[in-house]
Chain A
Amino acid sequence: MFLLLLVGLWVGQRTYHFFPFDKSKIGEQIYTLGITSSGDPLEGRTEGDIEFTDAHFNCAQCHRHSGYGSSEGGNFVMPITSSSLFNPRSYSRTDLFKKLFTESQSKQFWARMRSAYQRPAYTDVSLAAAIREGIDPSGRKLSPLMPRYKMNDTDMAGLVSYLKKLSSQNDPGVDEHSLYFATVVSKDANVDDKNAMLSTITKFFEWLNLATKGNLDHPNYSMNYRSDFLKSFRNWEHNTWELSENPDEWPKELAAYYEKKPVFALVGGMVKGDWTPIHKFCEKNRIPCLFPITDLPANEQASHYSIYFNEGLRLEAKTIAQYLSKDDVLTEPRSIVQFYSDEAQGEIPAKVLEQGLGAKKGIVTGSIRLTNLENFRQELSNYLQKYPQTDTIVVWPGTLDDVIMTELESQTGSIKRVFLPSALVPSNLDKFSEDLIQKLYFSYPYDLPSVYHPHAFRARAWMDTRKIPWINPRIQLNTYYALYLLEYGVEHVVEHFSRDYLIEFLEHEAEASINPGVFPRLSLGPEQRFASKGAYIVQLESSGEQLIKPVSSWIVP
């Protein structure tokens, strides 16, 4: 009886679809993860005879999440968005222009971009033939780079259903005239640093909008170039989303700002403490969150929409750990103690350092949590009395950073050496004794001041021409880099306002963009989320031209 009921339900569902089922969910899984409805990885063949069973050979790998395709190593991967697949093949001069004249690519790439052959729109059947056999609706064979997949009918229906929706409309945060951006700051973030960042952003938006207005006001001044792009020009509108001092309230506050006026992307940003709540908001709402100024980016593996300059204090802790366990001049065994403040800026790097050193035998470590300066004074003094052989102290002072140096000066006689985060590198050495100067080591995730960057002058000249006061050069140059890359990315997505497409373009071009010189290199790649990956260990130099000197090579932990 029960079996009969089941069979009846099955027949009913097949015939009348009582329970609506969104096939495109399976399609999305296949497209982005390469996992079929049965949970198996995709199977197929590429380059003629290379067989694979590998989820990495999913559609998003080459055609990217947006479906707008990609280019790499002289190979052009066609767009497979809904409108490009389900319409006859057509050419947009504006799309081609940027690809042909800005990217450095091989002749093969150029030829493929300009290839004149046409094809009719795909149907469900012809798309299945392309995916399984590599034949397009005009009967031509697709590039062997495009895998020929073994796919059952259920999976194929799901994938086709997903492709019919792929990038079929613009993402939120854009209308006919404007593109909307915001910058998140917290009330308690350093006022000067916030001003440094926000004044750069404001001037950049003013400058860009003036140029856009000029182009829109004179639509016919260039028949063959800029006038083609008029449809993609938008006024950039910027809002500052100021958050309270309570991170627990941030998700609600962010949601309220977004509901009031959705933005296409967040650019820059600065809060006191951990950036994770903003990161989570961006991931949840699929909003690009580009280059916030933060020491504590989120530590989430599966993030897609947030891009950072570096891993912040986690990177600094890893660098110190690697230096102490591999590159240090001292001989083993050693005794290391770290003191950390009881807040995210202290606890997070302390944990990372402990993990980094934990794997190395022969290093004795201790970790002491601090609540205030008095507590640090007492704990440091007690520890050094109890363990006078301690050769290395690491301090993660968090918001105690202003007073910690004074305290170290007062106990310098019993200290052998101290490692500190880069935020504590002083701007001058007047307050410090020579004895302490010799004992201080810093992680330094920036380029050395003596290094010349050929394109840095462009960023500096832009700032000087706009008469923006130099409040915090590092923050301002980083903000300029973020804005310059964003402008470049938006220019290249033309009128396809897809957030994924924008991110894909930034990944592709970050390395070729101008480096204003804060970091030795800024480089991304598909799904890479930290543009700078290493740090130096430096000491102070009281007698040289520069304030700091490296005592390690560029360490990439």
Chain B
Amino acid sequence: MLLTFFYGVVAMNSRYKQYLVIGLLLLFKEQAFAGYLPMAESSASTNPTANIYSTAQTGGEGKNSSLYSYKNSQATYDIPSVQLLDKDSKNIDFRKLIDYGGPVMVQFVFATCSTVCPILSACFSSAQPELEKLSGGSYRLVSISIDPEQDTPERLTEYAQRFKAGKNWYFLTGSQGDIAAVLKAFSATYQSNNKMYHQSLTLMRPRKDSNWTRIEGLLGKQDFIMEYKKMTGLSSQVKK
């Protein structure tokens, strides 16, 4: 059958051969250009200066892992030097806060968010006791409001209380422009400038100048701890 097809092609008028080639390319474009054409989702989701190896984590609904896959990649970011405001209305030099030297985990949330942010923050909240043990008390959780005009320090204080935030958890707001600069720096901007289309992101880094682990999707508590251990090298120590 293949032989018949081959002879048919050879005998075909050259114009029809062109059409056939174009048709075949259209049908099998993904295989034909594999490795040459960037796929939209990966180019849109990470910093162009960064990465890129991606590992998708998927679990069944086991007791310790998330049902959904989350995407995990490495990236580097230029931390902007902006002044933000914490929940106690204190000015915070954002770069200094992030570059303090130890492990830092960052999420983008807003206090009236109904679906995703409470889960992101609940993940931070539930992981606090274990992080305390693993890090010896030296870690920083940073929740940055993407709705800074609504999320005044007073509202962030209420939000922090709801999630029983400890002393290592920072809640930041600021001017619209400064928050936009932070979002852009972490490739966390969203479409249509509508915060309702924001991404579920957790960014973590073990120390200053090392790469960031960029996690897209929602994490369970143990997922988060596992990622923390991987990032800090604790998981390999445990295996040894």
A residues whose Cβ falls under 8 Å from a Cβ of B: 46-52, 54, 56-57, 61-62, 64, 70-75, 77, 103-107, 134, 141, 143-145, 508-509, 511-512, 521, 523, 525-528, 533-534, 553-554, 556
Contact = CB atoms under 8 A, between A and B. Distances in A.
Contacts of B190: 104
Given A73-B200, A534-B149, A556-B149, A49 B64 contact: yes
Nearest to A70: B115
Interface string B60-83: 011111111000000000000000
Contacts of B198: 72-73
A525 B221 contact: no
Contacts of A141: 61, 67
Interface stretch (B9-17, B27-35, B116-124, B205-213): B116-124
Nearest to B149: A533
Interface of B: 41, 59, 61-68, 110, 112-119, 122-123, 126, 147-150, 152, 162, 175-176, 190-200, 218-223
B220 A144 contact: yes
Task: Give 9 nearest A-B pairs by CB, closest first.
Answer: A104-B191, A73-B116, A48-B220, A512-B194, A533-B149, A144-B67, A72-B115, A512-B192, A526-B114
A443 B125 CA distance: 40
Given A51-B126, A74-B200, A46 B195 contact: no
A553 B195 CA distance: 23
A490 to B, nearest CB: 19
13 contacts: A47-B122, A47-B220, A70-B114, A72-B198, A73-B197, A73-B200, A74-B199, A75-B200, A144-B218, A511-B194, A521-B176, A525-B113, A525-B195
Nearest to A533: B149
Contacts of A62: 114-115
A71 B113 CA distance: 11
Nearest to A48: B220
A306 B115 CA distance: 22
B41 to A, nearest CB: 6
Given A54-B162, A509-B194, A523-B149, A48 B61 contact: yes
A134 B67 CA distance: 12
A57 B221 CA distance: 17
Given A144-B61, A145-B218, A75 B122 contact: no
Contacts of A556: 148-149, 152
Contacts of B150: 523, 525, 528, 533
Contacts of A523: 147, 149-150, 195
Contacts of B116: 72-73, 75
A95 to B, nearest CB: 18
B22 to A, nearest CB: 27
Contacts of B114: 61-62, 64, 70, 72, 526
A48 B199 contact: no
A47 B123 contact: yes
A525 B68 contact: no
A145 B190 CA distance: 21
Contacts of B110: 525
Contact of B68 (A143, A527, A534): A143
Contact of A72 (B61, B113, B221): B113
B167 to A, nearest CB: 21
Nearest to A76: B115
B24 to A, nearest CB: 27
A79 to B, nearest CB: 14
A336 to B, nearest CB: 22
Nearest to A134: B61
Given A72-B196, A74-B197, 20 more contacts: A47-B223, A48-B61, A48-B63, A48-B67, A49-B126, A50-B220, A70-B115, A71-B196, A72-B114, A73-B115, A75-B116, A141-B61, A144-B66, A145-B68, A512-B196, A521-B149, A523-B147, A523-B195, A525-B196, A556-B149
A554 B178 CA distance: 13
A73 B68 CA distance: 14
Contacts of B196: 71-73, 508-509, 511-512, 525
Contacts of B123: 47, 50
- Name, among A54, A72, A143, A534, the residue most crowded by chain B CB atoms within 10 Å (CB to CB): A72
